[in-house]
Structure 1
Amino acid sequence: MSGLTEPALDLGRYRTGGWCVTADEPLSFRLLGPVTALDGTGAPLVLGGPRRRAVLAALLLERGRSLPVERLVELLWPAPAPSSAATMVHGAVAALRRALESRGGPRVLVTRDGGYAVEVLAEQLDIARFETALAEGRRDLAPAPGKAARLLAQALAEWRGPALAGVEETFARAAAQRLDELRVEARALRVDAELRLGHHGAIVAELETLAAEHPLREDVCALLMLALYRCGRQAEALAAYRRLRTVLAGELGVEPEKRLSDLHLAVLRHDPALHPGPAGTAVLPAPLGSFVGRGGDVDRIGALLRAHRLVTLTGPGGVGKTRLAVEIARREADAEAVIVDLAPLADPALLQGLVAEALGVRAEPGQPLARTVAAALAVRPALLVLDNCEHLVAESATLVQLLLAAAAPLRVLATSREPLGVPGERVYSVHPLSIPSEGESAEQAAASAAVRLFGDRAAATGSGFTVTAANVALIGELCRRLDGLPLAIELAAARAATLPLAKLVDRLNDPFALLESVTRAADPRHRSLAATLAWGHGLLGDTERSLFARLAVFPGRFDLAAANAVSGGPAEVELPLARLVASSLVQPEEQSDGGMRYRLLETVRAYAAAQLDPRGHCEVAEQHAAHYLAVAEEAQPRLFAPRSGPWLARLHTERDNLRAALAWSFAHDPQRGVRLVNCLWHYWDLRGARDEGLYWVHKALTAAGSGPERLPLLSAGSLLHLGRADLADSEQWAGEQLALGRAHEAPSWTGDALALLATVDWARGRYDRAQRRYEDGVSLSLAGGDVWGASLAEAQLARLHRDRREPDAARAMALRALAHAEEPGESTARGLARDVLASIEHRWGDAEEAARLTGEALALYREVNYAEGEASALRSAATIALGAARTADARAAFQAALEVCRRIGHRAGTAEALEGLAEVAAVTGSSDQAAALNAEAARLRDETGIPRLAGD
């Protein structure tokens, strides 16, 4: 790693915005590593010598169960035990009690049933958390591999070294062996989950390491063979099988089990079943029902897309544009298909970020976001579906035109109530479904698309409804009244379980419903849909009507807690929400973790919103913003603590609601907006959404006063500018922060500003001043209690010493960074400290230690989805492997880094990975391949303007 292509976090730092855990929080204990007890703030307690730690370990392994003194003596001493053993056990327990109760709080080491016990909850002990996450990951591996991968990464993140390190008694070694076996299982299951998700390139190097460490494990060998084969490395996959077969025969005298020999045969035959599914499947929404009556449309639109790069589906609301677009994307075989729903987006300034987010592309240092997106699409054939463009027609047209001009393989399918007006656009008007004419036979009527759709959706209610010769005429009349609009038909069909067909038709003759619909829309098709919504709305009770109107505040998906928050009353909303779901007015969506979220179709949402007057709108929007501020403030401190990955994921799940809460807050309650920004900047930075983060930070600074409330905002803005390599802006903001921090005697913010300025100095080659500022910044951060921020600054200072070829100073500072990072336990800081220390060890120390540290950094970066850090660690692993002449490992790791960088659109990182692959090719004698790879890297460096530094 070098220069601005190292992880973006190397160019900044984080702090918790003044938050700290109170001493009232419970103790926690760690056995997956050195035996440690932490107080409520996360600070380690002084436990004393090995005997006390052994007693504590024995009691924690039996969590909650009383161990007699005699049993503790047996565990701590081989027979015969010394005569004073019982006295020494009592003394160790007394000393442990003093240590555990030194910070206040309830007693956890208790005397019970003639012995001693440690009474703690499962969440207070890392072994319990590890085993719970492992069990859940094992359970969810097949049905929900994404969830399983996250759970297993959380499980592995609990480890901080060999289990029960420092406790050498026999009981501890036996427990450690069992735990180490579970750790290996967790590692294997996690890479299995990643493989199921199609991430074979990213995990093949890790699998090779795991297979080398455990050469007798057939499950690991099978995963490695599959990953290698999917990476186009058939010969190496076959070689892995041969190695295992040789080892099994030599060590155990057995042959590989049948499933492995079957896999070997499938690799030899290039069995198509070995390949993962289509690349775009995972990003497409699940269909809301079977696809009925649009086969001809799909064929015609498919032909248009093959001939033209931009096709726009137009038509009124409820005609089925979105369902049709999703089905076309689902059938896409030649390219990755990605759908972007623009309906939740109110602010056009965030359009580019929304598209980048859907594609997995992150802001690239020194480059406009649209150009980064275009460059990423230029090397990955894709069908981009932009859904619901009507409120952002001009902005969508501008972005589409730019992307099509720069990315030749790209095709775009848009849905809108009007064309985009881009040159080369082909417009396809989506019409209602075919409806039966009056006087048609029952067979002819039943064959019409509208009647088939009604029958399909009515049957889905579980009522046993079927289309028959006796009822088809009424169904046909209903479909004609609804003009064949799919959404109107589906809403009517949802009532088939509770209302006779004749009453459904009569409801559409209600003059009041029709009068209401006429006032709402001039288009006849909109009138029929409004009439359907009006009579469906009329069938609701008062509670359901009120909730339905209030749910329009959600721009996208929401959960039950959020629905409760905006309900406007003390009653639970679960039952009325279930009734809205049964009426098809609200769509339920089961999540991979088993939870449930809900949404309103955009046309239904517009109708629901019209049921509230302006005062009601304002009240519900305020409740919505208050709820999501509470969500963000609950998450914020946990982002800087162990196991922050699920909290980051929760914020990402709620991103549409958080954007809406920010927009409303800055329009009506700017201080609430400031509080939201202070909670979210870390999430924006880790997700690479720095443009969006800066957009909101600018608004927050405008709303903030001139006092110390500006400090966290200036810090966040400076950091986000650093991530974009906007050095001048970062320096300006950090300079203001420094002056303000000194004026208000805020040491942690002053130290933070110095570290930011030091990073700018380092990037500009002003190493002496950078070193002074880092050193002063670390001292002030520690004085202000910001250990986490100090650890990041120390890691950066260690890197500076490394780059100045000062090994002793670099190693000492990296070790300090590592020690400080362990205190809060946040994964990004822990990963960065290991990343930098690994590079120092590789250059001047122990290559095996460097490889171990790099592997740990990689796992930590993945836990928080820090893709730039993941790519950096993979390149480090590749460099270490190349230095040890393990060219196959080096190639695999460089290839994995290349895939990560291409996925997120990081061209400078892509260039580094290509250069690494070129070096591997040169070492293995493939000079032509090396030249081609270097030429491609040089082209990318020309595009980004980031040169290859001397010594890289």
Structure 2
Amino acid sequence: MLGPMLIKVGNRGAMSPGRLQSTLLGVLLYHANQPVSVDALTETMWGDRRDPRAGQKLQLHVHRLRNVFAEADRLTLGPAGYRLTVLDGELDAQRFASRLEEAREVAAEEPKVAVTLLRSALELWRGEPLGDVDVPVLTDWAHRLAELKLTALEALYEAELACDPNVAVTGELAELVRQHPLRERLHGLLMIALSRAGRQAEALQAYRTARDTLVDELGLEPGPQLRELHRRMLAGDAFEPSAGGGAATAPAQLPMDVLGFVGREAELEELDGLLVTEPGAVITAVAGTAGVGKTALAVRWAHRARERFPGGQLYVDLRGYGPEQPVTPEDALAGFLRALGLDGAAIPHDLDERAARFRSLTARSRMLVVLDNARTVEQVRPLLPGGSSCFVVVTSRNALAGLVAREGAHRLHLERLPNEDAHLLLQMLLDDRVDAEPEAARELVRRCARLPLALRIAAELVRSRPGRGLGRFADELAAQQAVLDVLDIDGDPHTAVRAVFSWSYRQLDPGTARTFRLLGLHPGHDVDEYATAALAGAGLRDTRRALQALRRAHLIDSSSDGRFRLHDLLRAYAAELAASTDSAAEREAALDRLVGCYLFTASKAMDVIARDDYARRPEPPRFDGETPSFTTYEHAWQWLDDERTNLVEISRHGGPAAVIHLSQTIWRYLDTGGYNDDAMTLHTRELDATRALGDECAEAKARRVLGATLSRLGCDGDAMGHLEWALAAFRRTGERAFEVATLSFLGCVYSKKGELDEGGRWFEQALTLTDADDGWYLHCAVTINHSRNLVALGRADEALSHLLTIIPLCRQKGAKHLECNALLCLSRVDLHAGRLDSASDHVQLGLTLAREAGFRTLESDALRMLGVVHVRRGNHEQALRLHKEATELARVVGDTELIAENLNSLAAAQAAAGLLLHALDHYGNALAVATDAGHRQEQASAHAGIGDVHDRLGEHGKAGEHWLRVLALYRGRNLLGAREAQEKLLHRGTTRAVRGR
């Protein structure tokens, strides 16, 4: 198959089947040793051209194919379709994959053996795989095989470099890089080969070429492996070839391995076999009924196989079944992209873009992806990686037929435990009690339907009553099951599970039972004791006792951070009990208490995080229950982080007023933290709620925060649309404070876009509506934003006069974060004037205030400017430390403008310290962030810095190109940056180019 299809039988020469014969054979080989239905074969071979005689034609082609084989029973027909028997080693694609896997296993210890195995594997290739077949399922297989060949070539050169550091492979690697310019591992191997050949400058140029290609083609920076190799090369560190292919910080998201796991050896071996026999990317759909142990199997196998995935392991519980909302593909992808090293602000908003970015990142690594508890194919499909070296395990109660048909997934149907294994599990859980009453134990296994979940809960209940025999428990369970059987008209085998739940539930005291029922109403994924108490309408002490009782009964799981969650079956059962036991009014009251608890506690947390917010938060609702006390910023922020998903989820259930209240309460937390997905979800929901109520003023407030979020995402066009609508509404409704705030934010957006004059006009409008006496807070906030814009315009003296007026007012009012912001702006003026001592004093005080106030955006900015002061003083080591700390904090916050500005400052510090290639790298990163988000000022700063570095490297032509781009970005404005670029161009004799501009 590794070329045009050929059949070899015994000593006979190779035969080339015709097109239809090749298609038939290819499909049968794709499903080797598995039946393929007649309908599937005829559809593949003839498609829309099928006629009533298609079945007869298929029989004819099958007959001809049978005649080719030496054994007549190779190709048989059964009830499910045609089945082709293939033995180990008969298929060249299988032999290739097997040798590649063997080479991977020995490469670290025996690279010479790996070279031999890989060369023998690659010798099997005769051209394009399945080169004479053109049907979708086989074309996809051919692509995966071709991708696997590239993986083998990469492994071969890596092993050869490990055997002989001086091996001459640069020519071959350079040609492969030319053919496959987006494969980072090849770029890394070429860098290593060039460096070891003493061609250091070419090795570094190879990295710059790789980076330029990835940015131009994919809009992506190189991955962490290639960046780490580049860093080590610059530092002169020793490195091994695997630095080009191994993961620097591979994600490891698997849940804890399952305790008390029994059986499933055949299924585990089947999964092991797919790593060897299946070429390219493998998607395995583990399907089975609820509680049968799908997650346990997937997690157990994932832990067994994790060493075979050096690129890391990703895991997500998609929550496909149960009363709560399933995880959306957008949210799952956001989590994966963060785990793969993307900054929050760099994660695309659009689902298709996220999926494409995920495929691009995973295409470069051998990774395991576990998609647990999926509901539909549509929920899974965007989460599939793009690389042929990845392995995906999906668990679902759904058979996911579409995944099998379109993506060629391998389906593994998980049956209930065999009797022997179920008995063994019960024995592990109950020790000698099973041996003492074997008949009762067998009856208990039967009553639990051989389902692991039911057996575990039943065993815990048995252990809790040591004085009672197993036989009595089995009798009680039988009686309870009979009651449920009457209710279960469809004969659902999960009556057994419900019976075990019911049996366990009936042992609870009334208060604990009520707590369990009401937990089924919670719309989120996990819960703390305070929210549980609110649901139950109970005190914290009683709630803690109930939660511990539920945990001991295995009806809930607890985590080390004091949170609790229910298995989806138990959640559904609890919700079912609540619906049948508690009245609609009681259930509604429980949810009202929960909403009230979350809104009240969120308000308390925000009172600590943002005490003096110019957008006044609504008064918290009355709530009489117990809530956590927040004495520090860190505690309040941690609570919001822990509950963020629940807060967004609860907004679905509290009605329009609750959605609006929540959005107006926590918008600043979401904005400051860079939680753009949740902000978009909540604020969009708020916008819909305000429209439903017909409240124009509330709608304007929703658009204001939605505009702020879109601006963070770099969508300034959409952001301005919302902000301008909000501004008009605030003017109509007379909301002066919100009008001022919106004017100021519009000024910030224009300033960020590089339209400084337009930004100034918005700030000036805002200032005409405020004064220092009436509305001092907004007056100070707008003045600070206006002053920053004036500094960028080169009007530092005007900025200074404004700032000296408002800083005493901020200090008098105790507004630490406003004073901090003003001091940092004042330090920009000082730096502009060269007053380093004054700048240092102002920054130090500003940094202290930022940390006291808990504003990480301002803390990052203060660290950055303190680093600038140290650069000017020549303290390069201290400057670099500060800039790195500032940049890391900016990435945590997720503000694209802050990230770009910090990256530019870090690059400037590295250039000042003589680390020119490091500086080029960070200037390039800054340029990528700024370009993607439309921050023209930071684009210009990046181009100016890149030009300066190229000039110092003697690359004057490249330097001139970047300085010209600076002029283009300033659009003829006579600003400091433009004047400096023009002077550099004139100095280098490129006046003609300048005049042309």
Name the TM-score, length of structure 1 as normaliser.
0.59
Q: What letter is aligned with 1:487?
A: L
Matches for 1:909-924 after TM superposition, within 5 Å: none
Other structure's SS at 2:545 match: helix
* 1:927 CA displacement: 6.0
Counterpart in 2 of 1:48? none
Other structure's SS at 1:340 match: strand
Provide closer, same or farther for how the CA distance between residues 347 and 872 of structure 1 changes in structure 2, counting only shifts above 3 A: farther
Deviations 1:855-886 (Å, cap 9, x if unpaired)?
Answer: 77778878999877776666556555544444
1:356 to 2:324 alignment: no
1:397 to 2:380 alignment: yes
* 1:552 CA displacement: 0.2
Deviations 1:794-839 (Å, cap 9, x if unpaired)?
Answer: 3322220111122233345456676666678788656654554444
* 1:519 CA displacement: 4.2
Provide closer, same or farther for how the CA distance between residues 237 and 357 of structure 1 changes in structure 2, counting only shifts above 3 A: same
Provide closer, same or farther for how the CA distance between residues 649 and 784 of structure 1 changes in structure 2, counting only shifts above 3 A: farther
* 1:893 CA displacement: 5.5
Counterpart in 2 of 1:726? 715
* 1:551 CA displacement: 1.1
Question: Could you tell me which of 521, 532, 535 is aligned with 1:566?
Answer: 535
Provide closer, same or farther for how the CA distance between residues 810 and 309 of structure 1 changes in structure 2, counting only shifts above 3 A: farther
Instruction: Quote the Cα distance in structure 2 between the aligned partners of 1:832 and 1:328.
Output: 53
Counterpart in 1 of 2:93? none
Q: What letter is aligned with 1:454?
A: L
Question: Could you tell me which of 633, 638, 648 is aligned with 2:603?
Answer: 633
Whether the 8 Å contact between 1:513 and 1:531 is mirrored in structure 2 is yes
Counterpart in 2 of 1:683? 669
Question: Could you tell me which of 420, 426, 436 is aligned with 1:454?
Answer: 426
Q: What letter is aligned with 1:362?
A: G
Whether the 8 Å contact between 1:310 and 1:411 is mirrored in structure 2 is yes
Deviations 1:571-595 (Å, cap 9, x if unpaired)?
Answer: 943433333222111222231xxxx
Instruction: Quote the Cα distance in structure 1 between the aligned partners of 2:264 and 2:896.
Output: 41
Counterpart in 1 of 2:502? 534
Instruction: Quote the Cα distance in structure 2 between the aligned partners of 1:325 and 1:855.
Output: 53
Question: Larger radius of gyration, structure 1 or 2?
Answer: 2
Instruction: Quote the Cα distance in structure 1 between the aligned partners of 2:392 and 2:744.
Output: 44
1:341 to 2:341 alignment: no
Whether the 8 Å contact between 1:818 and 1:830 is mirrored in structure 2 is yes
Provide closer, same or farther for how the CA distance between residues 687 and 926 of structure 1 changes in structure 2, counting only shifts above 3 A: closer
Counterpart in 2 of 1:174? none
Name the TM-score, length of structure 2 as normaliser.
0.56
* 1:506 CA displacement: 1.9
Q: What letter is aligned with 2:451?
A: L
Instruction: Quote the Cα distance in structure 2 between the aligned partners of 1:574 and 1:557.
Output: 15
**Structure 2, gaps ≥5 residues long:** 1-227, 240-246, 613-631, 943-997
Instruction: Quote the Cα distance in structure 1 between the aligned partners of 2:765 and 2:273.
Output: 65
Provide closer, same or farther for how the CA distance between residues 305 and 833 of structure 1 changes in structure 2, counting only shifts above 3 A: farther
Q: What letter is aligned with 1:661?
A: I
Instruction: Quote the Cα distance in structure 2 between the aligned partners of 1:826 and 1:304.
Output: 62
Deviations 1:414-446 (Å, cap 9, x if unpaired)?
Answer: 332225544436345363574444xxxxxxxxx
Instruction: Quote the Cα distance in structure 2 between the aligned partners of 1:298 and 1:786.
Output: 68
1:388 to 2:378 alignment: no
Counterpart in 2 of 1:200? none
Counterpart in 2 of 1:497? 463
Provide closer, same or farther for how the CA distance between residues 329 and 684 of structure 1 changes in structure 2, counting only shifts above 3 A: farther
Counterpart in 2 of 1:607? 573
1:796 to 2:785 alignment: yes
Counterpart in 2 of 1:416? 396
Instruction: Quote the Cα distance in structure 2 between the aligned partners of 1:609 and 1:915.
Output: 54
* 1:685 CA displacement: 1.5
Counterpart in 2 of 1:138? none
Counterpart in 1 of 2:54? none
Counterpart in 2 of 1:620? 590
Instruction: Quote the Cα distance in structure 1 between the aligned partners of 2:415 and 2:920.
Output: 57
Whether the 8 Å contact between 1:830 and 1:857 is mirrored in structure 2 is yes
Instruction: Quote the Cα distance in structure 2 between the aligned partners of 1:757 and 1:552.
Output: 45
Instruction: Quote the Cα distance in structure 2 between the aligned partners of 1:489 and 1:864.
Output: 53
Counterpart in 1 of 2:172? none
Provide closer, same or farther for how the CA distance between residues 561 and 925 of structure 1 changes in structure 2, counting only shifts above 3 A: closer
Counterpart in 2 of 1:756? 745
Instruction: Quote the Cα distance in structure 2 between the aligned partners of 1:894 and 1:345.
Output: 47
Q: What letter is aligned with 2:330?
A: Q
Instruction: Quote the Cα distance in structure 1 between the aligned partners of 2:266 and 2:843.
Output: 54
Instruction: Quote the Cα distance in structure 2 between the aligned partners of 1:379 and 1:825.
Output: 47
* 1:317 CA displacement: 1.5
Instruction: Quote the Cα distance in structure 2 between the aligned partners of 1:906 and 1:295.
Output: 49
Q: What letter is aligned with 1:388?
A: N
* 1:302 CA displacement: 6.3
The range that moved more, 837-846 or 815-824, is 815-824
Provide closer, same or farther for how the CA distance between residues 931 and 656 of structure 1 changes in structure 2, counting only shifts above 3 A: closer
Provide closer, same or farther for how the CA distance between residues 316 and 795 of structure 1 changes in structure 2, counting only shifts above 3 A: farther
Whether the 8 Å contact between 1:308 and 1:426 is mirrored in structure 2 is no
Other structure's SS at 1:737 match: helix
* 1:894 CA displacement: 5.6
Provide closer, same or farther for how the CA distance between residues 368 and 822 of structure 1 changes in structure 2, counting only shifts above 3 A: farther
Instruction: Quote the Cα distance in structure 2 between the aligned partners of 1:548 and 1:388.
Output: 22
The range that moved more, 530-539 or 889-898, is 889-898
Q: What letter is aligned with 2:663?
A: V
Q: What letter is aligned with 2:515?
A: L
Counterpart in 2 of 1:47? none
* 1:314 CA displacement: 2.3
Other structure's SS at 1:610 match: helix
* 1:716 CA displacement: 1.9
Other structure's SS at 1:387 match: strand
Q: What number of residue pairs does the alignment pair up? A: 659
Whether the 8 Å contact between 2:345 and 2:896 is mirrored in structure 1 is no
Counterpart in 1 of 2:659? 673
Whether the 8 Å contact between 1:641 and 1:825 is mirrored in structure 2 is no
1:949 to 2:939 alignment: yes
Deviations 1:512-553 (Å, cap 9, x if unpaired)?
Answer: 524525745857542322222122223334433332221101
* 1:654 CA displacement: 1.6
* 1:702 CA displacement: 1.6
**Structure 1, gaps ≥5 residues long:** 1-228, 239-266, 269-275, 438-447, 459-464
Provide closer, same or farther for how the CA distance between residues 367 and 657 of structure 1 changes in structure 2, counting only shifts above 3 A: closer
Q: What letter is aligned with 1:527?
A: T
The range that moved more, 764-773 or 900-909, is 900-909
* 1:848 CA displacement: 6.1
Whether the 8 Å contact between 2:847 and 2:863 is mirrored in structure 1 is yes
Instruction: Quote the Cα distance in structure 2 between the aligned partners of 1:898 and 1:730.
Output: 25
Q: What letter is aligned with 1:725?
A: G
Instruction: Quote the Cα distance in structure 1 between the aligned partners of 2:455 and 2:701.
Output: 52
Whether the 8 Å contact between 2:714 and 2:933 is mirrored in structure 1 is no
